[in-house]
Structure 1
Amino acid sequence: MKLIIQIPCFNEQDSLPVTLAELPRSLPGIDLVEWLVIDDGSSDRTVEVARALGVDHIVRFERNRGLAAAFMAGLDASLKAGADIIVNTDADNQYSAASIPALIAPILRGEAQMVVGARPIGQIDHFSPVKKALQRLGSWVVRVTSGTDIADAPSGFRAIGREAALRLNVFNRYTYTLETIIQAGRRGITTQSVPIRVNGDLRPSRLVRSIRAYVTRNMWVILRIFSIYRPLSFFTMVGAVPFGIGFLIGLRWLALFLSGTDRTHIPSLILAAVLLLMGVMIWILGLVADLISVNREMLEDIRTRVRRQELAAARTGEPESGDEEPRPLSSRAA
């Protein structure tokens, strides 16, 4: 059983040594533990520090591509390196490495394919009351959308089994945390949430520049993911708004007409017709999107099979077929 701990990094030369010093090199039930760093276009000495501290694998981007791309590149590199379990953690040492055994335990027992660490949000001093409330609200929305029972959806501290890693895809460029949970729920990947410990704050968050930006970004992420994975439900709810308003206006016009009013109220009738038609058109769009989602699911299954073939080819040393987009290379650190 091989476990790889992956760490997405962007200019982390100062915090990376602290994080690596806490990471384990052996764990109960695991035969081999390796470390992997994803350098997301850093302009400092992150890569040199990683090599000097004995990181086993390094994936490098020439330019900054964002946390979601770094996360997926780490999964690909970890799978190609033979990982049975992948643990993702942050380079700022936010998550306590002592919680890794608890994080991987459900996977080792065969109870889950993905496990998300639940931080004690109420006890984190550097989280403002507003941020704590938003974290809880966002996690509730994700639970409702995904049908999972994840207590801390924005948590990046998670363990992922090999099969789950093969099936995950991230379309959002901002972050992977919410999308992977919603996708897991929609694709039948069993998930669990376990309580974890956190460390002190080494630096301000680079994802949360302001509460307003954090709320806006995550709101659009959730809406986009919901429209991708539940298009019929999404467009049905959206279309119900203009249709409902148009229906009420139409009832008002009909009541006035039957009461024998002297005025024709033609503008109200036109507005009602336009809103009703708009609602029906949005519902038709939902039906089309639902049909497209079937094709997307088939393409995801094909992609999963291709990734399995790539891994099998990498293990046997055979060249990979196809003209795929070049990916960052995983290399053994010197």
Structure 2
Amino acid sequence: MTKLIIQIPCYNEEATLGVTLSELPRDIPGIDRVEWLIVNDGSVDRTVEVAQACGVDHIVSFDHNQGLAKVFMAGIDASLKAGADIIVNTDADNQYCAADIPKLIEPILNGTAEMVVGERPITEIEHFSPAKKVLQRLGSWVVRIASNTKIPDAPSGFRAYSRNAAMQLNVFNEYTYTLETIIQAGQKGMAIASVPIRTNGYLRPSRLVKSIPAYIQRSIFTILRIFMTYRPLRFFSIAGSIPFTLGILLCIRWLILFEPDRARTPSLILAAILILIGFQLWMFGLVADVMSANRKLLEDVQLRLRRSAYEKPNSETRQVRTDGTVRSNQKASTEVSS
């Protein structure tokens, strides 16, 4: 039996969650069972009540707001424990067209991909500002370089994961999971695909984009941190080449303008400092590259532990029991408190 779980991160989504859930499918060709899961990120409104009224199968709850990245991973964990073969992630603001879910999971069903990212028509989305559209392209370009993939819309949150791919995910960034998971998948050699999807009308402002300057700042920091984590040798090589090259140019200038009666010592000292900084950054890159090998070994160990812990249940219906309580809501329903 092939089970698909659609997970939705939620933070005060009372106004839009009902609309989003009303469009989610319960029957999909090639899937035997479709279940819904929401991750309540410390909502203070009626998000949970709306979810229960709409027949959500699993509810994962946090007492306080944890942020999108942690909520995403909590949903992945709960979906794996519930026996999901495929996990689809979508947003509670109904941004993505739920009718495209069959198209999204098709590459996983036919075995050509383990992770699929929905490609939005960015240029046609009216409520995206020009600055945000540019950043979307920039972020996707950096991710393509760091991951060796060809995903055109890396920040898209409408995506599908196979069970095997979901078990290998780790998110260290606290801001968002979208860019990092693609880079991880590329580094691990997973087959990644992209399919064009449709978007729905604008219902509410983005929770991640509170202001364009803040979005730019956090996006740049996120991209740099991800690039530093997963491509340390390349990152520090580029960073070290800049001062090293400037130092060499200053040395050449010093030699060209050299006069016996004018030593030009300050220029030579600055050149030496820049060259030294360049060498130090290169050394940082080598050390970080060696450390990344240890991270890969730890990820292999973690994958083995997850495969053992998330062994598929034998029975068709299974309640997922964790540190929280288990609540029945028409079908096997899970509520995890933290």
TM tier, shorter chain?
Answer: over 0.9
- Note if 1:207 corresponds to 2:233: no
Structure 2 CA distance, aligned partners of 1:222 and 1:65?
21
Mapped contact 1:59–1:329 kept (Cα < 8 A): no
Q: Once the 2 structures are TM-superposed, how far is the Cα of residue 138 of structure 1 from its aligned partner?
A: 2.0
Structure 1 residues 330 and 115: alpha-carbon distance in aligned structure 2, compared to 1, 3 A threshold: farther
Which secondary structure does the structure 2 equivalent of 1:37 belong to? strand
Unpaired runs of at least 5, structure 2: 316-321, 330-338
Mapped contact 2:115–2:165 kept (Cα < 8 A): yes
- Note if 1:70 corresponds to 2:71: yes
Mapped contact 1:103–1:116 kept (Cα < 8 A): yes
Aligned to 1:294: 293
Mapped contact 1:235–1:283 kept (Cα < 8 A): yes
Unpaired runs of at least 5, structure 1: 318-326
Cα distance per residue 1:13-54 (max 9 Å; x no partner):
111100000000110000000000000111111112111211
Matches within 5 A, 1:1-334: 1-257=2-258, 260-312=259-311, 315=313, 329=324, 331-334=326-329
Aligned to 1:320: none
Mapped contact 1:57–1:330 kept (Cα < 8 A): no
Mapped contact 1:26–1:32 kept (Cα < 8 A): yes
The CA RMSD over aligned residues, in Å, is 1.6
Mapped contact 2:157–2:178 kept (Cα < 8 A): yes
Query: How many residues get paired?
Result: 322
* Residue identity opposite 1:304 in structure 2: L
Structure 1 CA distance, aligned partners of 2:110 and 2:79?
21
Q: Once the 2 structures are TM-superposed, how far is the Cα of residue 136 of structure 1 from its aligned partner?
A: 2.0
Structure 1 residues 62 and 15: alpha-carbon distance in aligned structure 2, compared to 1, 3 A threshold: same
Q: Once the 2 structures are TM-superposed, how far is the Cα of residue 218 of structure 1 from its aligned partner?
A: 1.3
Mapped contact 2:4–2:35 kept (Cα < 8 A): yes
In the superposition, the TM-score normalised over structure 2's length comes to 0.92
Mapped contact 2:115–2:159 kept (Cα < 8 A): yes
Identical columns (%):
64
Which secondary structure does the structure 2 equivalent of 1:60 belong to? strand
Cα distance per residue 1:271-324 (max 9 Å; x no partner):
111111111111111111111000011111111111111113x8489xxxxxxx
* Residue identity opposite 2:283 in structure 1: I
Q: Once the 2 structures are TM-superposed, how far is the Cα of residue 330 of structure 1 from its aligned partner?
A: 7.8
Mapped contact 1:95–1:157 kept (Cα < 8 A): yes
Aligned to 1:324: none
Structure 2 CA distance, aligned partners of 1:113 and 1:292?
27
Structure 1 residues 332 and 197: alpha-carbon distance in aligned structure 2, compared to 1, 3 A threshold: farther
Mapped contact 1:239–1:279 kept (Cα < 8 A): yes
**55-64 vs 245-254, greater mean Cα deviation:** 245-254
Structure 2 CA distance, aligned partners of 1:328 and 1:264?
72
Q: Once the 2 structures are TM-superposed, how far is the Cα of residue 332 of structure 1 from its aligned partner?
A: 4.8
Structure 2 CA distance, aligned partners of 1:331 and 1:159?
26
Which secondary structure does the structure 1 equivalent of 2:202 belong to? coil
Q: Once the 2 structures are TM-superposed, how far is the Cα of residue 133 of structure 1 from its aligned partner?
A: 2.5
Structure 1 CA distance, aligned partners of 2:326 and 2:128?
37
Mapped contact 2:17–2:51 kept (Cα < 8 A): yes
Q: Once the 2 structures are TM-superposed, how far is the Cα of residue 153 of structure 1 from its aligned partner?
A: 0.8
Structure 1 CA distance, aligned partners of 2:44 and 2:268?
62
Mapped contact 1:9–1:91 kept (Cα < 8 A): yes
Structure 1 residues 190 and 305: alpha-carbon distance in aligned structure 2, compared to 1, 3 A threshold: same
Q: Once the 2 structures are TM-superposed, how far is the Cα of residue 247 of structure 1 from its aligned partner?
A: 1.0
Structure 1 residues 288 and 157: alpha-carbon distance in aligned structure 2, compared to 1, 3 A threshold: same
Q: Once the 2 structures are TM-superposed, how far is the Cα of residue 329 of structure 1 from its aligned partner?
A: 4.5
Q: Once the 2 structures are TM-superposed, how far is the Cα of residue 217 of structure 1 from its aligned partner?
A: 1.0
Mapped contact 2:146–2:230 kept (Cα < 8 A): no
Structure 2 CA distance, aligned partners of 1:282 and 1:53?
55
Cα distance per residue 1:109-155 (max 9 Å; x no partner):
10000000011112112122332232222222221221111111111
Structure 1 residues 117 and 4: alpha-carbon distance in aligned structure 2, compared to 1, 3 A threshold: same
Structure 2 CA distance, aligned partners of 1:172 and 1:7?
19
Which secondary structure does the structure 2 equivalent of 1:298 belong to? helix
Mapped contact 2:9–2:91 kept (Cα < 8 A): yes
Mapped contact 1:85–1:162 kept (Cα < 8 A): yes
Q: Once the 2 structures are TM-superposed, how far is the Cα of residue 56 of structure 1 from its aligned partner?
A: 0.3
Structure 2 CA distance, aligned partners of 1:228 and 1:52?
42
Mapped contact 1:57–1:331 kept (Cα < 8 A): no
* Residue identity opposite 1:247 in structure 2: I
Which secondary structure does the structure 2 equivalent of 1:14 belong to? helix
Mapped contact 1:51–1:333 kept (Cα < 8 A): no
